[in-house]
Structure 1
Amino acid sequence: MNILVAVLAALMSAGCFGVASVVQQYAASKAPREESLRLRLLLDLARQPLWLAGMALTVFSYIMQGLALAFGPLVLVQPVAATDLAFALPLLAWRRSERLTRPELTGIACTAGGVAAFVTVLPPASAGTPVAPLQDWIPVLLIVAGTVTLLVAAGVRSSGRWRTGLYAAAAASMFALLDSLTKGTSGRLRTDGPDALVHWEPYALLGVGITGLVLSQSSFQAGSLAISLPLIDTIEPIGGVLIGIVVFDERLASSTGALLTQAFGALVAVVGIVLLARSPLARDLKSSPQPSTGPDDAG
Structure 2
Amino acid sequence: MTALSVCLALLAALANAAASVLQRRALADMPTTTAMALLRRPGWMWGAAMLVVSGALQALALATGPLAVVQPVMSTELLFTLLVGGIAFRRRPDRRTQVAFVAMAVGLGGFLALAAPSGGRDTVPAAHWAWAGLSLAAAVAVLIAVSIRLPSSPRAAVLGTATAIGFACTAVLLKDALGRLPEGVGAVFTTWQLYAAMAVGLGSFLLLQVALRAGSLAASQPALTLGDALLSVVLGVVLFQENLNLEWRTPLEVLALGLLIGGCVELARSPLIGEDAEGTGKW
TM-score normalised by structure 2 residue count: 0.93
2:106 alignment counterpart: 113
Q: Distance in 1 between matches of 2:160 and 2:2?
A: 30
The CA deviation at 1:89 is 1.2
Matched residues in 1 for 2:192 and 2:253: separation?
A: 34
Comparing 162-171 and 86-95, the one that deviates more: 86-95
CA distance in 1, matches of 2:187, 2:44: 35
Secondary structure at the aligned position of 2:119 is classed as: coil
Give the total of aligned pairs.
Answer: 280
2:4 corresponds in structure 1 to 5
Q: 2:119 aligns with which of 121, 124, 127?
A: 127
Whether 1:252 and 2:244 are equivalent positions in the alignment is yes
Question: Does the 8 A contact of 2:157 with 2:221 survive in 1?
Answer: no
CA distance in 2, matches of 1:213, 1:288: 29
Kindly state the Cα deviation for residue 94 of structure 1 after the two structures are TM-superposed. 2.5
Q: Classify the secondary structure of the residue corresponding to 1:127.
A: coil
Tell me which stretches of 4 or more aligned residues in structure 1 moved more than 4 Å.
285-289
Q: Give, in angstroms, the shift of residue 189 of structure 1.
A: 2.9
Match of 1:94 in 2: 87
Which residue of structure 1 lines up, in the alignment, with residue 52 of structure 2?
Answer: 59
2:158 pairs with 1:178: no
The unaligned stretches of length 5 or more in structure 1 are 36-40, 290-299
Describe the shift of the 1:32–1:135 C-alpha distance in structure 2 as closer, same or farther (beyond 3 A): farther
- Contact 1:29/1:222, CA 8 A, preserved across alignment: no
Amino acid in the other structure paired with 1:102: R
1:272 alignment counterpart: 263
Helix, strand or coil for the counterpart of 1:120? Answer: helix
Q: Is the 8 A contact 1:155 1:167 kept in 2?
A: yes
1:139 alignment counterpart: 131
Question: 1:224-281: per-residue Cα shift (whole Å, max 9, x none)?
Answer: 000000110111111111111111111111x422222222211111111111100111
Match of 2:194 among 176, 191, 202: 202
Deviation at 1:183, TM superposition (A): 1.1
Cα pair 1:160 1:222 within 8 Å, conserved = yes
Equivalence for 1:293: none
User: RMSD across aligned C-alpha pairs, in angstroms?
Assistant: 1.9
8 Å contact kept, 2:17–2:84: no
Contact 1:31 1:221 in 2 (8 A): no
- Percent of residue pairs identical: 31
Shift of 1:200: 0.9
Distance 1:235 1:120, change over 3 A: same
Whether 1:164 and 2:156 are equivalent positions in the alignment is: yes
2:70 alignment partner, one of 77, 92, 96: 77
- SS of 2:55's partner is helix
Letter of the aligned partner of 1:113 in structure 2?
Answer: V
Deviation of 1:43 after TM superposition, in Å, equals: 5.0
Letter in 1 for 2:89: R
**Contact 1:252–1:259, Cα closer than 8 Å, also in 2:** no
Give 1:160 deviation, angstroms. 1.2
Unaligned runs of 5+ in 2: none
1:121 aligned counterpart, secondary structure: helix
Please tell me the residue identity of whatever aligns with 1:19: A
1:212 corresponds to which letter in structure 2? S
Which residue of structure 1 lines up, in the alignment, with residue 219 of structure 2?
227
